[in-house]
């Protein structure tokens, strides 16, 4: 076999994460069995497993092994379950994880021990994403419902909501066709119904949302976009517009660095929501878990604010920081007054002394 054919084979392998099958070499480039053995002996190729080879210097990672699995399983196969979820960015990649491959129910395939073969009774759609054949994102979620616990499945749903537009309606349509015959379908339907097209953005937010759902509190709006004078102001993690209450949950995912936390704090401090024509609608003017509202402004950490603008004090516990803002009407009623916060009357007297 000439050098030109080997170069062409190497180019094909680069598009396949550095691997190539013996059938591709023989059918596409005319490599005989003896030439293949000589290439391995001479160091031109490395035998990865079974009928799959790779060129020296190719990056050895889980995607390479995943593509090799689909070469062995055949052209109708697709990565599925946890492996598809890792490639679709719904789960964190783990190099040591088993490689899951789905094949048509009628096909008999045997793979090495690290690989798990699935033969679903319901047909699946095979798509190609960034060079790897996988099941569709909604079918991947359905498959994961049978192997993940509820908390992990909730995280997958939230990430899919942000990554794939119209995910909720597409998933509901697939669930209707499957008619509840697969494991975990009931749990998946319950989580979809609870979300109502909303999704959190971090593990800590999901933990808080589970707590809120299990309480007797009214259902909040999740990732509520606040606008003032028709301009976007900020996104609120959990909002109760009818009560003028907003809850920010600052977890490690988006606030793992001090500058991220400080940026949010500055944004909230600059929030022009106190009275006058620039008031936000709905109004969420102030206070934190360490303070309550006075008649003219907020008392933050027991001290009155300057009055015209909201002030926020982050309450930190390790990597978990969160701020609770309440409307002045709600705070004056005394319904919410966090521990250590002075009363509105005392806050007014304090504000008079400071002025």
- Residue 340: CB atoms within 10 A of its CB come to 11
208-220: average pLDDT: 88
Q: For the chain, what percentages of helix, strand and coil (3-state, to nearest 5) are there?
A: 40, 20, 40
Residue 143 pLDDT class (50, 70, 90 cuts): very high
Report the share of the chain in percent with pLDDT over 70. 72
Mean predicted lDDT score pLDDT of the chain: 75
* Beta strand segments in 50-175, E: 52-54, 78-79, 99-102, 115-118, 126-129, 132-135
More confident residue, 284 or 70: 70
pLDDT in tens, 306-322: 332 333 223 223 223 33
Residue 97 pLDDT class (50, 70, 90 cuts): confident
Q: What's the confidence (pLDDT) of residue 268?
A: 66
pLDDT in tens, 253-292: 676 777 777 777 776 665 544 332 333 333 343 333 333 2
Helix, strand counts (H, E) of the chain: 14, 16
pLDDT in tens, 112-138: 888 999 998 888 999 999 999 999 999
pLDDT at 54 over 70: yes
CB burial of residue 345 (10 Å; 0-12, 13-18, 19+): exposed
Q: What's the confidence (pLDDT) of residue 81?
A: 95
Q: What's the confidence (pLDDT) of residue 226?
A: 78
- Domains of the chain by range and CATH? 1-60 (1.10.10), 75-198 (no CATH), 221-354 (no CATH)
Distance in angstroms (rounded) separating the CA atoms of residues 100 and 117:
6
Distance in angstroms (rounded) separating the CA atoms of residues 22 and 2:
17
Residue 180 pLDDT class (50, 70, 90 cuts): low
Which alpha helices (DSSP H) does 134-257 contain, by range? 137-145, 150-163, 167-178, 185-195, 203-214, 252-255
């Amino acid at each position: 076999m000439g050098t030109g054919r080997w170069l062409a084979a190497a180019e094909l392998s680069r598009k396949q994460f550095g691997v190539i099958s013996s059938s591709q070499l023989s059918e596409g480039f005319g490599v005989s069995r003896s030439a293949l053995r000589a290439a391995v002996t001479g160091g031109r190729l490395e035998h990865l497993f079974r009928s799959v080879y790779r060129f020296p210097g190719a990056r050895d990672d889980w995607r390479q092994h995943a593509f090799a699995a689909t070469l062995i399983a055949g052209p109708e196969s697709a990565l599925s379950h946890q492996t598809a979820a890792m490639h679709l960015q719904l789960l964190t990649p783990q190099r040591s994880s088993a490689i899951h491959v789905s094949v048509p129910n009628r096909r008999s395939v045997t793979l090495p021990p690290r690989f798990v073969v699935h033969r679903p009774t319901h047909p699946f759609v095979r798509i190609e994403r960034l060079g790897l054949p996988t099941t569709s994102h909604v079918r991947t979620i359905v498959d994961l419902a049978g192997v993940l616990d509820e908390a992990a499945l909730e995280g997958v749903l939230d990430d899919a909501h942000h990554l794939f537009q119209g995910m909720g309606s597409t998933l509901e349509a697939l669930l209707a066709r499957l008619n509840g015959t697969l494991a975990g379908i009931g749990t998946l339907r319950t989580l979809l119904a609870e979300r109502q097209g909303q999704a959190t953005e971090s593990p800590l937010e999901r933990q808080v949302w589970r707590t809120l759902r299990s309480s007797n509190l009214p259902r909040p709006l999740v990732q509520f976009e606040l606008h003032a004078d028709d301009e976007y102001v900020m996104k609120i993690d959990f909002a109760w517009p009818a009560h003028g209450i907003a809850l920010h949950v600052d977890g490690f995912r988006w606030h793992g660095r001090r500058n991220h936390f400080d940026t949010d704090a500055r944004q909230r401090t600059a929030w022009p929501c106190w009275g006058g024509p620039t008031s936000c609608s709905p109004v969420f003017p102030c206070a934190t878990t360490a303070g309550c509202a006075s008649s003219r402004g907020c008392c933050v950490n027991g001290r009155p604010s300057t009055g015209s603008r909201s002030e926020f004090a982050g309450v930190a516990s390790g990597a978990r920081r969160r701020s609770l803002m309440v409307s002045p009407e709600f705070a004056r009623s005394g319904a919410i007054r966090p521990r250590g916060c002075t009363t509105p009357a005392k806050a007014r007297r304090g504000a008079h002394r400071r002025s």
